[in-house]
């Protein structure tokens, strides 16, 4: 059985950019807050260097604008740069024109920093849902070749539970795009998220290991893992918030770095583009268009 290459992806944003804090910290106050994203991202770069793996960094334009040297360091270390939008606004809260401006600004900033074309996009909080599918056409028109914004689960802020669980080609009026869903395991009629963020940090580590092993061995497919730099920073300033956000954001921050190092020793990881090259041209090719859910 061949070992499967999984995608390691990082959404490069700071602790105060998180959507759950939208009503707590106004955007106008962002510049006044203590920024920790640079040191936390550098720490991730060092963890990946030690483990000998390359990853994809979906960088927020707001961060790229303030830390162009960090963007250059990510690229110089051989990682892939991709876009997380500019201002961390939920896609379904934007007009199409506002969304186009936001993604174009973020793509331009990253491409100016390194000179390399940006191929991938991941929406803040996976906010491409049935209300914002128009965004896919704009991504194609703006030159993106893949999107990683549609999570096939039920969640209060995001998700299209009926959408496909593994990467597939999406055909839209404006062209073609590869969609890369967040990883899940199927449990009866449910898709259970297993590979990243709070699902990695809050649940026991065994949940993620079991899930990735199951996707790799039983389905012979790649898992798409994601994490944020603030998730390995237990000393970040505490922001005032409700009980649910406090649990989701601060739970187990102190164990996440050790878990990540362990995960890197248990599985093979690479950047998104390497995974997609294997998925769409390797022996487990799914080059034929996937059956599209009714929403499309």
The residues of the shown chain that bind Zn ion, judged by CB under 5 A, are 11, 13, 124
| C-beta of 125 vs 183, nearer to Zn ion | 125
Give me the least distance between CB of 277 and Zn ion, in Å please.
25
Smallest separation (angstroms) from Zn ion to the CB of 13: 5
DSSP for 92-127, please give it.
GGS-HHHHHHHHHHHHHHHHHHHSPPP-EE--GGG-
Residue 210 C-beta: closest distance to Zn ion, Å: 26
Minimum Å distance from CB 104 to Zn ion? 18
Furthest CA-CA distance within the chain: 53
How many whole angstroms from its chain centre is CA 100?
19
Residue 18 CB, nearest approach to Zn ion (Å): 7
> What CA–CA distances, in Å, run from 30 to 17, 35, 42, 61, 92?
8, 9, 21, 13, 22
Comparison of 48 and 121: residue with beta carbon closer to Zn ion: 121
**Residue in the structure block whose two tokens are 């990682």:** 79
Q: CA 168, 81, 40, 87 torsion: positive or negative?
A: negative
Nearer to Zn ion, 144 or 267 (CB): 144
Question: Smallest distance, Å, CB 124 to Zn ion?
Answer: 5
Measured from the CB atom, the residue of 225 and 267 that comes closer to Zn ion is: 225
Nearer to Zn ion, 41 or 279 (CB): 41
Nearest to 166 by CA among 189, 155, 150, 177: 150
By beta-carbon proximity to Zn ion, the closer residue of 4 and 227 is: 227
For residue 30, the minimal CB distance to Zn ion (Å) is 14
Q: Which residues, including other chains, have CB under 8 Å from residue 288's CB and lie 6 or more apart?
A: none
CA dist., res. 62 & res. 11, Å (int): 12
Q: Are 269 and 7 in contact (CB under 8 A)?
A: yes
The C-alpha atoms of residue 234 and residue 220 are separated, in whole angstroms, by: 35
Compare residues 11 and 147 and give the one whose CB is closer to Zn ion. Answer: 11
């Amino acid at each position: 059985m061949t070992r499967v290459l999984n995608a390691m992806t990082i959404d490069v944003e700071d602790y105060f950019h998180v959507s759950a804090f939208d009503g707590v910290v106004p955007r106008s106050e962002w510049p006044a807050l203590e920024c920790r994203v640079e040191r936390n991202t550098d720490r991730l770069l060092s963890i990946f260097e030690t483990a000998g793996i390359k990853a994809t960094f979906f960088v927020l334009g707001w961060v790229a604008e303030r830390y162009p040297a960090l963007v250059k360091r990510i690229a110089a270390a051989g990682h892939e740069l991709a876009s997380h939008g500019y201002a961390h606004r939920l896609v379904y809260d934007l007009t199409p024109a506002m969304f186009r401006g936001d993604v174009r600004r973020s793509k331009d900033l990253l491409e100016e920093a390194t000179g390399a074309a940006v191929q991938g996009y991941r929406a803040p909080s996976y906010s491409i849902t049935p209300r914002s599918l128009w965004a896919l056409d704009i991504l194609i028109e703006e030159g993106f070749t893949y999107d990683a914004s549609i999570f096939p689960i039920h969640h209060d802020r995001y998700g299209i539970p009926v959408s496909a669980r593994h990467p597939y080609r999406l055909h839209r009026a404006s062209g073609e795009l590869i969609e890369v869903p967040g990883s899940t395991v199927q449990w009866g009629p449910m898709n259970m998220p297993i590979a990243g963020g709070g699902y990695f940090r809050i649940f026991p580590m065994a949940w993620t290991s079991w899930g990735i092993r199951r996707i790799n061995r039983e389905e012979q497919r790649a898992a798409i893992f994601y994490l944020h730099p603030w998730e390995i920073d237990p000393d970040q300033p505490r922001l005032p918030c409700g009980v649910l956000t406090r649990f989701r954001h601060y739970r187990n921050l102190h164990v996440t770095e050790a878990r990540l190092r362990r995960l890197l020793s248990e599985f093979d990881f690479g950047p998104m583009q390497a995974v997609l090259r294997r998925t769409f041209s390797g022996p487990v090719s799914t080059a034929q268009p996937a059956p599209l859910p009714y929403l499309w």
